Amino acid sequence: NPQCDSLASFVSYFSLYAESFLNLAGIMCRLRVADDIPHSPLDSKQRHGIFCIFKEVLNNVVRHSSATEVWVAFEVSEGKLLLSVIDNGCGFEFVPGAPGKDGLTSMHQRMHELGGLCQITSRAGCGTTIRISLPLNSNQNGQSSNR
């Protein structure tokens, strides 16, 4: 829906999606959304890419983490959308490219294609943190646009 193409609408949808998805799995979702999320447009490639990553992150939490709580935070800082998902689950030892970690590797690759970054921090027994950073003023090649 083109009327929902703004960053603010996108963040609102993600928040509702996370609460619903995690609630169905019996996991408490704690949201923090910055008050200053702009209503600026977000292109369809960015929306789709971030949503695929977000779904992968939440699926991994539900399927593998044994978490009881997840903190999801959205903010915009220095022209970037910052998305954090932190769980209190069992964690794991993350080795990029390791067998069985294809979803995690694809998150890195997808963010790279969007001109952003995906940082995964985890330790066995200590939960997992996923941080996504997406420049809002860039096109798909990571170069500044003149809109």
Determine the 3-state secondary structure of 116 from DSSP: coil
Whole-model pTM above 0.85?
yes
CA dist., res. 146 & res. 139, Å (int): 9
Question: What is the residue-level pLDDT of the chain in tens, covering all 147 positions?
Answer: 666 789 999 999 999 999 999 999 999 999 999 999 998 898 889 999 999 999 999 999 999 999 999 999 999 999 999 999 999 999 988 666 666 667 788 899 999 999 999 999 998 899 999 999 999 874 434 433 333
Q: Among 107, 95, 99, 11, which Cα is nearest to 59's?
A: 107
What count of other Cβ atoms lies within 10 Å of the Cβ of residue 135? 18
